[in-house]
Structure 1
Amino acid sequence: MTLTLAFDIYGTLIDTRGVETTLTGMVGSDAAAVSRTWRDKQLEYAFRRGLMGRYQPFSECTRQALDFALAFHQHSLQADQRQQLLDCYQHLPAFTDALPALHSLQAEGYQLWAFSNGQATAVDTLLVNAGLRDCFAGIVSVDDVHSFKPDPKVYAHFLARTNAEAATTWLVSSNPFDVIGARSAGWQAAWIQRSAAVVFDPWELAPSQTLSALTELAAALKR
């Protein structure tokens, strides 16, 4: 039985905290707080737009979330500085466990796909810059269906695009909402708990596997 593996990108393979270096030069000691607010609002705006049926690409959610984060933390930046921060999203670093984990999974013969809220072109550029693009058969973006995870039609779209079956498809994500969405859609899902401080939502839909690093996934899939 060949498993299809759908990898979330932002926060799972790619470290969104990579913006903090550039932020530090602009907002000083508030960089970590601004980064957290930016990421939280980015996801919140995607959720809200999905529910309201007022879709805008993830890049627009990212831009608006940055504007909110700067205002919330009382920082005013020039337009070119804001654009510099947005451009960072094309050059975010991969987590150190990402490439070795993907290589080991490729060696096992699994089908690996990138599965993201981001537009396909943006994700492609990001993965190329992070040195991960060659690990994937392709990229599936929610942009094709104008909604966001965890909308059920997003997971159905992935299956249609990859000719996969729900029962043999695994989502790999560090985002609990994404794991719950996949489990609700009938998939298996591995939650990558990148910090012991992160708590999984106490819902009736639990991860199939909870792992502390991507490098544990190959062994977990054999269990």
Structure 2
Amino acid sequence: MKYSIGFDVYGTLVDPVDMGQHLENLIGDRASEFGQLWHDKKVEYAFRRGLMQQYADFTVCTHQALQYCLNVYQISLSPAEQQQLMARFAELNAFDDVIPGLKKLVQHGHHLAAFSNGPELSVRKLMANSHILPHLQQVVSVDDLQTYKPNPDVYQYLVERLQADINSCMMVSSNPWDVIGAKSAGLKAVWVKRSPSKLFDPWEIQPDLIVSDLIELATLLNT
């Protein structure tokens, strides 16, 4: 069966905590935990804005999350240094399995799209810089709807943009909440378990597939 597949970007195609060197230059040995808190907070802020129906794009969520982290760690960065960190989100690296996995999926006729909470122009720049863009047919952003995943409307929008039958439309994400959101909206969903220590939420909704990376996904879908 050929699928139309939407891939979450941050955490699935690229590593949002892959800011280590840039953070270390400004923050020091707390860079790793700072990076994880920054990622968690920007996702939380997007959730809040979606529920409150007070939309601002993901860049705003990211910057406000940075401000929160700076306050938590009592770190002072100049506006220029903060802007430097924000700009690094366009330079995140693809996970090693991503491009080989996408190539295999395209070779077998699947239709691939990046599907992100980030604004489309920002996501396109990131996908180009990480060399992922040539292996995708589309880039779809929730920014078009002025709300965030896991609102069911955004998953229906993905189906419409991919011009797909919902039964052959699949969401692939390393975030359990994203998988649950897609499944609850009627899509098929795959959880990419990027670490052995990661746990899926103990909900009544579970993924259709669990894979360790996109190469494994391509192998399973193409057999």
TM-score normalised by structure 1 residue count:
0.98
In the alignment, what sits opposite 1:172?
172
- What code does the residue aligned with 2:9 have? I
Contact 1:209 1:220 in 2 (8 A): no
Tell me the secondary structure at the aligned position of residue 29 of structure 1: coil
The alignment status of 1:70 with 2:70, answered yes or no, reads yes
Q: Give runs of aligned pairs for residues 19-168 of structure 1, distance below 5 A.
A: 19-168=19-168
Per-residue deviation, residues 156-196 of structure 1 (Å, max 9, x unmatched): 11111121121111111101110000000111111000011
Distance 2:143 2:2 in 1: 27
The structure that is helix-richer by fraction is 1
Contact 1:166 1:185 in 2 (8 A): no
Distance 1:103 1:62 in 2: 31
Tell me the secondary structure at the aligned position of residue 113 of structure 2: strand
Moved over 4 A (4+): none
Distance 1:14 1:133 in 2: 12
Contact 1:180 1:207 in 2 (8 A): yes
Tell me the secondary structure at the aligned position of residue 17 of structure 1: coil
Identity %: 43
Contact 1:55 1:147 in 2 (8 A): yes
Contiguous gaps of at least 5 residues in structure 1: none
Per-residue deviation, residues 128-155 of structure 1 (Å, max 9, x unmatched): 0000101111111000000100000000
Distance 1:37 1:47 in 2: 15
Deviation at 1:222, TM superposition (A): 4.3
Tell me the secondary structure at the aligned position of residue 143 of structure 1: helix
Contact 2:24 2:30 in 1 (8 A): yes
Distance 1:207 1:221 in 2: 15
Q: How many residues align?
A: 223
- What code does the residue aligned with 1:146 have? Q
Contact 2:101 2:214 in 1 (8 A): yes
Contiguous gaps of at least 5 residues in structure 2: none
Distance 1:95 1:171 in 2: 18
Please say which of residues 210-219 and 143-152 is displaced more in the overlay: 210-219
Deviation at 1:220, TM superposition (A): 1.9
Contact 1:120 1:141 in 2 (8 A): yes
- What code does the residue aligned with 1:147 have? T
Quote the RMSD (CA, aligned, Å).
0.9
Tell me the secondary structure at the aligned position of residue 157 of structure 1: helix
TM-score normalised by structure 2 residue count:
0.98
- What code does the residue aligned with 2:169 have? T
- What code does the residue aligned with 1:71 have? N
Distance 1:117 1:168 in 2: 22
Distance 1:84 1:141 in 2: 24
In the alignment, what sits opposite 2:219?
219
Contact 1:20 1:35 in 2 (8 A): yes
In the alignment, what sits opposite 1:8?
8
Distance 1:23 1:58 in 2: 20
Tell me the secondary structure at the aligned position of residue 17 of structure 2: helix
Deviation at 1:219, TM superposition (A): 2.1
Distance 2:144 2:109 in 1: 27
Deviation at 1:54, TM superposition (A): 0.2
Tell me the secondary structure at the aligned position of residue 16 of structure 1: coil
Distance 1:146 1:13 in 2: 23
